[in-house]
């Protein structure tokens, strides 16, 4: 726990626990939500090759995850932490202009 606290600049074990719970819920929920979104567009395992379905599924999970991470962070009272985390992640994959857009 002390590694997380030092790395994330957090002092409380409770905050580390809440943050880890948010990460877990967000990952599971984004994987669950991506399937109905693909189905809405008529993309299902039954009618599309696995070579097309799974890359689209993984590609869709990424933006869903980003939105849910900040949303669940807000719900659990950790919006500031997750907003900063989100901006850092977007900048690291060269999509920092998205975070900059919301800063204005």
Question: In which domain, by residue range, is 66 found?
Answer: 2-103
User: Looking at residue 65, what is its pLDDT?
Assistant: 94
Nearest to 80 by CA among 94, 90, 66, 70: 70
User: Looking at residue 104, what is its pLDDT?
Assistant: 57
Give the separation between CA 22 and CA 25, rounded to whole angstroms. Answer: 5
End-to-end Cα distance, the chain = 35
Give residue-wise pLDDT tens across range 64-104. 999 999 999 999 999 999 998 888 888 887 766 666 666 65
Number of domains in the chain: 1
Looking at per-residue confidence, does 57 or 10 come out higher? 57
User: Looking at residue 1, what is its pLDDT?
Assistant: 67
Q: What is the pTM of this model?
A: 0.81
Cα 45 to its chain centre, rounded Å, is 24
Residue 40: which pLDDT band, with cuts at 50, 70 and 90?
very high
8-state DSSP, 38? H
User: Looking at residue 3, what is its pLDDT?
Assistant: 80
User: Looking at residue 98, what is its pLDDT?
Assistant: 66
């Amino acid at each position: 726990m002390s590694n997380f606290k030092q790395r994330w600049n957090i002092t409380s074990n409770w905050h580390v626990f809440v943050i880890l719970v948010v990460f877990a819920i967000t990952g599971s929920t984004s994987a669950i939500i991506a399937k109905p979104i693909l189905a809405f567009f008529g993309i299902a395992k039954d009618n599309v090759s696995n070579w097309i379905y799974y890359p689209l599924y993984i590609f869709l999970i990424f933006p869903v995850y980003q939105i849910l991470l900040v949303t669940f962070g807000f719900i659990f009272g950790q919006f500031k932490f997750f907003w900063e985390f989100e901006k850092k992640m977007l900048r690291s994959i060269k999509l920092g202009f998205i975070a900059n857009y919301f800063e204005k």
